[in-house]
Amino acid sequence: MNQRCLDLAILLGGQRSALGPGARSLSINAFLTWDLIRIGMATDEQLRVLAEDLELTQAATERRGRIWWRTATARGDGLVVVAAGPHHEGKPPSDAETP
């Protein structure tokens, strides 16, 4: 691993840290005409704070079988940002639409 690789790790780690203490993952995917940024948060409360900070206004609860998690999304000019909280098992709470 060379210095450029180490510099990239520091740069990306700094960007992840700038999202707040609960940011666990950050990824960027480039498509032909738009970019996708995905953010993984450690807790639902930290997801709520990040969604408010970044104005991620489309809240949803995703389900796959017995597993569910909250998401917050925003779409703009050539950019989609999706933040997700941790996975939970069982039935979502009644306020499941609020991240």
Q: What is the mean pLDDT of each run of 10 residues along the chain (99 residues)?
A: 96 96 96 97 97 94 94 96 96 66
What pLDDT, on the 0 to 100 scale, is given for residue 96?
Answer: 55
Distance CA 23, CA 62 (A): 19
95 in a structural domain: no
Q: What is the pLDDT of residue 95?
A: 63
Are 39 and 83 within 8 A, CB to CB?
yes
User: Would strands 23-30 and 88-89 be described as parallel, antiparallel, or unpaired?
Assistant: unpaired
> What number of H helices and E strands is found in the chain?
2, 6
Q: What is the pLDDT of residue 98?
A: 52
Task: Count structural domains, the chain.
Answer: 1
Give CA–CA dist 29/62, Å, rounded. Answer: 21
Decide if 97 is inside a domain: no
Question: Which domain range does residue 85 map to?
Answer: 3-89
66 is a domain residue? yes
Q: For residues 87 and 68, is the Cβ–Cβ distance under 8 A?
A: yes
Residue 99 domain-assigned (yes or no): no
In-domain check, residue 96? no
